[in-house]
Chains A and B, each alone.
Chain A
């Protein structure tokens, strides 16, 4: 045997390919339902989390459906093609390496949008869907503004901005343009998502400039550089907020495959949050809002930090729980 193939065998989780199990069976007999049970069992045997869900999503994806129930009846009764079978096999092997399902199928849903998910773009979490709802429910300034200006810090896949853009009141249309500023490290995946949602990249979005904000080794760029855009109604951010000491406890799906700059918020998880808080009063309109997602410990810490830093002219309006009843969001306002 070739040396490389021996090495490969050592590296790969030792799972006999599906077709070996099925040698007795003809691939003609493999319906989507059977494949789902097969992979579910394989995943369970290898302690892969979300075994059933993973299996259903991968099989459905190979058949062009978003969920197992959405596979058209005509396809679900019929055996899959050889090509589909091999594709499922490849995807299943990736899952066995703990690759997140969203990266394997390269897409995921955020509210009613389907977004492109190529590593290392951060995979949006369901809590952040609620952040969008909170901005729209409590961002009175934004909703009453004729020319709403939003600044999203760290937009990742663009999920939050895209969802907000689709839902802001239409009456700002006659006034021409809507300005959206993003502060983010990653550009490529986001631009593709804008395209998928029907934006025209070349005319609608353009890069203006790059600048440093919270880099300890460089003096921060003056926020005045954002001034040409005018004062902002709302700053929204789901910044990296995991405490550095908690990073090593993350599931392999996250720790090994997602970008740590999107996750690691420093010793107290507040590095970027504090950066945003310092910057916000200078960028926001009077009574402009800040909406942040954070760790359940953060609302309390943030409130204390504001007391210790009275020069930061922000007041805490509310802290809001997520669907698991965990303190997750804060709403601040420029005072």
Chain B
């Protein structure tokens, strides 16, 4: 057993395997909550964590809530006993929106639960574009982002060009 630093009482001798260590934490909240995350529950057994970013993104729009009953979810991890008796690393989620037939796949992270949440976010956006077409806020935002990116790139190019010209001018002046 590795002893931890800090104010520890000397632990009594261990008689494995049934000795239990009681650790008490005194944890002031503020110190360790960098950007608290909110929970949202789709259904008691599909409680999924909303990341702050995802929440912000969708809050600004009027995206329609996904109905869990409209979804068909599949996992690539295969059929095993599950729980402690299974240890798989494949956390890919395949999510189908039955009314529209749209299917998304998500294996962005190493957490199944986060992938389930992300799959729902992606699906929600796709459905928005599917039903609203050109009027979709998501599409508009994406175009806006693309436009801004282009602009930024253009500016950077112009800047570079200017600097180059300046340098050439300086060089030619030094040469004189």
Contact = CB atoms under 8 A, between A and B. Distances in A.
A177 B111 contact: no
Contacts of B29: 170, 172-173, 178
Interface in B13-27: 14-27
Given A127-B82, A173-B29, A188 B2 contact: yes
B39 A184 contact: no
A53 B12 CA distance: 44
Contact of B2 (A110, A187, A202): A187
Given A188-B2, A253-B87, A328 B82 contact: yes
A146 interface: no
Contact of B110 (A66, A173, A203): A66
B21 A184 contact: yes
B51 A212 contact: no
Interface string A46-79: 0001100110010000000011010000000000
A112 B20 CA distance: 28
B83 interface: yes
B11 A50 contact: no
Nearest to A101: B89
A320 to B, nearest CB: 5
User: Chain B, interface size: which category?
Assistant: 35 or more
A199 B30 contact: no
B44 interface: yes
Contact of A137 (B21, B24, B37, B41): B41
A240 interface: yes
Contacts of B116: 323
B21 to A, nearest CB: 5
A127 B83 contact: yes
Contact of B85 (A197, A210, A250): A250
A39 interface: no
B83 A212 contact: no
A210 B20 contact: yes
Given A67-B108, A109-B109, A212-B20, A201 B28 contact: no
A294 B88 CA distance: 18
Interface string A107-134: 0111110000000001101110110111
Interface in B55-88: 73, 75, 79, 81-88
A293 interface: yes
B49 interface: yes
Given A50-B89, A67-B107, A205-B24, A210 B19 contact: yes
A134 B48 CA distance: 10
Interface string A186-226: 01101100100111111111111111111110100000001
A67 B114 CA distance: 14
User: From DSSP, what is the main secondary structure of chain B's interface residues?
Assistant: loop
Contact of B91 (A123, A126, A258, A322): A126
B36 A166 contact: yes
Residue of B26, B31, B79 most packed against chain A (CB within 10 A): B26
Nearest to A109: B110
Nearest to B112: A126
B37 A254 contact: no
A209 B9 CA distance: 7
Nearest to B90: A53
Contacts of A100: 87
Given A109-B110, A212-B18, A125 B86 contact: yes
Contacts of A199: 25, 27, 32
A297 to B, nearest CB: 11
Contacts of B175: none
A167 B5 CA distance: 27
27 contacts: A49-B88, A50-B89, A53-B88, A53-B89, A109-B110, A112-B37, A112-B114, A123-B87, A137-B41, A166-B33, A167-B36, A172-B29, A173-B29, A177-B27, A185-B20, A197-B32, A199-B32, A205-B4, A206-B4, A206-B6, A210-B20, A210-B22, A212-B20, A215-B19, A240-B84, A323-B75, A328-B82
Interface of B: 1-9, 11-12, 14-34, 36-37, 39, 41, 44-49, 51, 73, 75, 79, 81-91, 107-114, 116
Given A109-B114, A294-B83, 14 more contacts: A69-B107, A102-B89, A109-B109, A112-B49, A133-B47, A133-B113, A165-B25, A170-B36, A177-B27, A178-B29, A202-B5, A215-B15, A215-B19, A254-B84
